[in-house]
């Protein structure tokens, strides 16, 4: 990795002590925080923000306007919400409120975060149905179960099999 302590081309800003791997593509107006580490073969699109001390593994793509907070680490054996995450995705506005929900497939099953709620897929669906949100419950369940099945079909492990 290379050490960068000054601005990068195309109006990107690289923080003090940041380390950038080989073959990294950094878009215009990207801001990478102090002491962040970016692995090899990473693409960071325009206007993305990477926080201080964040660690991004190799072969990662970060989209336009993405915001990655301080101290974040992506790569094998990704942990989030106390889970050993294999893969995750988000959905927005499923219930018409604009709220974003997070669905994590992890080594022990499926977990959903929606606002202040965090729990298993079954717990989420039970609570949604108790609130009369049947379409919300069924939509989230179908998406989460299809996603988990595809992860299994692809043999993804998130590095947790090592």
Strand order across the beta sheet in which 18-20 lies: 2-4, 18-20, 37-38, 55-56, 73-74
Q: How far apart are alpha carbons 151 and 146 in whole angstroms?
A: 9
Tell me if 159 sits within 8 A of 76, measured CB to CB. Answer: yes
pLDDT at 105: 96
pTM across the whole model: 0.62
Give the confidence band of 90 by pLDDT, cuts at 50, 70, 90. confident
The whole-chain average pLDDT of the chain stands at 86
Q: What is the pLDDT of residues 63-75, one digit of tens each?
A: 777 777 767 666 7
Q: Which of 1-10, 12-21, 67-76, 106-115 has the lowest mean pLDDT?
A: 1-10
Q: How far apart are alpha carbons 64 and 30 in whole angstroms?
A: 9
Asked if pLDDT for residue 3 goes beyond 70, the answer is no
Asked if pLDDT for residue 109 goes beyond 50, the answer is yes
| Average pLDDT of span 86-112 | 90
Q: Which of 1-5, 89-93, 135-139 has the highest mean pLDDT?
A: 135-139
Q: What is the pLDDT of residues 22-33, one digit of tens each?
A: 999 898 899 999
Q: How far apart are alpha carbons 15 and 51 in whole angstroms?
A: 9
């Amino acid at each position: 990795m290379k050490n960068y302590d000054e601005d990068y081309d195309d109006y990107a800003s690289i923080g003090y002590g940041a380390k950038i791997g080989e073959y990294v593509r950094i878009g215009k107006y990207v801001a990478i925080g102090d002491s962040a580490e970016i692995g090899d073969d990473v693409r960071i699109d325009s206007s993305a923000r990477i926080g201080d001390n964040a660690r991004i593994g190799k072969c990662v793509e970060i989209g336009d306007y993405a915001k990655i907070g301080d101290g974040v680490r992506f790569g094998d054996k990704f942990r989030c919400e106390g889970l050993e995450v294999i893969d995750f995705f988000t959905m927005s506005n499923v219930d018409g409120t604009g709220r974003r929900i997070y669905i994590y497939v992890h080594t022990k099953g499926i977990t959903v975060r929606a606002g202040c709620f965090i729990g298993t897929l079954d717990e989420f669906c039970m609570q949604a149905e108790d609130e009369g949100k049947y379409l919300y419950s069924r939509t989230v369940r179908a998406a989460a179960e299809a996603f988990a099945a595809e992860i299994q079909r692809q043999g993804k492990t998130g590095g947790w099999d090592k």
